[in-house]
Structure 1
Amino acid sequence: MQIRRINPETLATQTGLPVEVVQDLIDRELIGAFAEPGEDDLCELRRVRRLIETLGLSHEAIDVVLQMRRRLVALQREAAQLRAELVERRSAERTMVWIEAEWTEERE
């Protein structure tokens, strides 16, 4: 089985990044050298391009920004999951009917 390497030129064309930047990202292992990039990967690389073009960030700064973004997205997913669980529990509590009673023995 032969594993295909990412072609930096093709990836540069798809993302609008210079070939040197793509190769540097591969060298820094910010993107894999052997995996075929998916749409999420291409979006991430387009983010890199915007960070370079609009803010002039260095590769180190871009790495920090992307890591913070990934963590923020993970926290947003976790918060959404917890909200959904809370809604589910509240709806389950509304369907339950609790009757409190005190039992006493009658003596004859």
Structure 2
Amino acid sequence: MLIRRINPETLAAQTGLPVEVIQELIDLGLIGTLPEPTETDLRELRRVRRLIDTLGLSHEAVDVILQMRRRLVALQNEVAQLRMELSERHRVERTSVWIEAEWVETRE
């Protein structure tokens, strides 16, 4: 099976990053050699561009920020999951429980 690898020039055109920056990110291991980048990959690279262009950050600083962002997103997803589970538990606890009982009259 032949997998077409995307070249740095194409990736640069898709993200707006200079080819040199793309190549440096590849060399640093921040970008793998992707067969075809997904929209998520392209969004991540556009974030890199904004961090470099807007804040003038080094590639090492960008790597730290992206790692912290990934961790933050993972924690947000975990909190959302825990809230959903807690909400489900409260829903179950608030459910009325009906118990069948027999009425017995005693005569004295």
- Give the TM-score band, short-chain normalised: 0.7 to 0.9
Normalising by structure 1, what TM-score?
Answer: 0.85
Residue of structure 1 equivalent to 2:46: 46
Q: Extract unaligned runs of 5+ from structure 1.
A: 100-108
Residue of structure 2 equivalent to 1:73: 73
Residue of structure 2 equivalent to 1:30: 30
Segment of structure 1 superposing worse, 31-40 or 53-62 = 31-40
- Percent pairwise identity: 77
Residue of structure 1 equivalent to 2:106: none
Segment of structure 1 superposing worse, 56-65 or 88-97 = 88-97
Deviation digits for residues 17-71 of structure 1 (CA, Å, limit 9, x no counterpart)? 0001111111222111133110000000000000001100000000000000000
Match of 1:95, SS state, is coil
Q: Counterpart amino acid of 1:20?
A: E
Q: Extract unaligned runs of 5+ from structure 2.
A: 100-108
CA RMSD of aligned residues (A): 1.5
Aligned length: 99
2:55 counterpart of 1:55: yes
Residue of structure 1 equivalent to 2:14: 14
Normalising by structure 2, what TM-score?
Answer: 0.85
Moved over 2 A (4+): 96-99
